[in-house]
Homo-oligomer: A and B are copies of this chain.
Amino acid sequence: MYFYYMLEQIRQLLPQLSPSEGRVAQWVLNHPKEAAGATLAMLSRECKTSEPTVLRFCKRVGLGGFRELGIRLTEALSNPLSYVHRDVGPDDSSSDAILKVMDASIQSLIDMRAGLSSMPIDRSVAILKKARQIALGGLGASGHVAGDACHKFFRLGIPCSTLVDTPTILQFAAIAEANDVLVLLSHTGRWPEFATAARLATARGATVIAITNPDSELAREASVLFPCPVIEDTSIYTPMSSRLAQLALLDALYVALALASGEQAADRLRISKDALRRQAV
């Protein structure tokens, strides 16, 4: 449970409230979000009491009036204590669960940011800048990350493709040439085909950039490694927030590459943005 200032205040005053006022307090504690947007009439009806009683409740918890209750409640609800991640369980209320998911996502980005300085971004940029073509490979959720990244990189004018299944990845690796870059995204890095593909591509003189678990076969075979720790999904409800971090990492890589590519790339970006603006996304 999160610590909300206003709600805690109410909880503490709960015992010394009169029965009717107590009902109001209880309802507010149980439905803080609804209470924040409710009107005096709605709230009094919900608590089976009269409007003045609700108002007296407000005064008693130290507020100037009913209107202030709404303000304090929205304040309390949108003020996170920290983004410490706890797993979602089946007993969580919907709004609790949502906040937990969100916090986990934020935390994973914060973690990524902290580790960014030790990532081989400069090396990757140097390699990507000379690339004849870039292929991004990933399965499942990572496939979507690869697709998103491809959609960014191609705007720099570099031939770019997405590979979302193992046969295609293997085929690409088998015919790769020098200056081709294969970016492989894998959560655990344990699909044996990925390591094979990395070996094949490297043997043909191509470069393999892996964004994966550092303790894996794929990580060992890759030319450049972006280490991403494996987050064990302790709860079945938790979506993989690590993919958000991967997306952000690729964003960062893209921007670094765009900057390194100078005016020509900047022009291409301008042109491609204008093309969209003339329509509307």
Binding site for B on A (CB under 8 A): 33, 36-37, 70-71, 74-75, 77-80, 88, 90, 92, 94-95, 97-99, 101-103, 105-106, 109-110, 112-114, 116-117, 121-122, 125, 139-142, 144-145, 147-148, 151-152, 186-188, 190-191, 233, 236-239, 241, 243-244, 247-248, 251-252, 254-256, 258-260, 266, 269-270, 273, 276, 279-281
Cα of A258 to Cα of B89 in the assembled complex, Å: 11
Across the interface, A140 reaches (CB within 8 A) one of B36, B144, B151, B256, namely B151
Interface-central residue, A71, A239, A273, by most chain B CB under 10 Å: A239
Interface of A is mostly: helix
> Which of chain B's residues has its CB closest to A245's CB?
B105
A33-B117, A79-B79, A97-B259 known; 12 other A-B pairs, CB under 8 Å? A75-B75, A75-B77, A80-B80, A88-B259, A94-B122, A94-B259, A103-B113, A105-B251, A139-B281, A140-B281, A148-B243, A237-B269
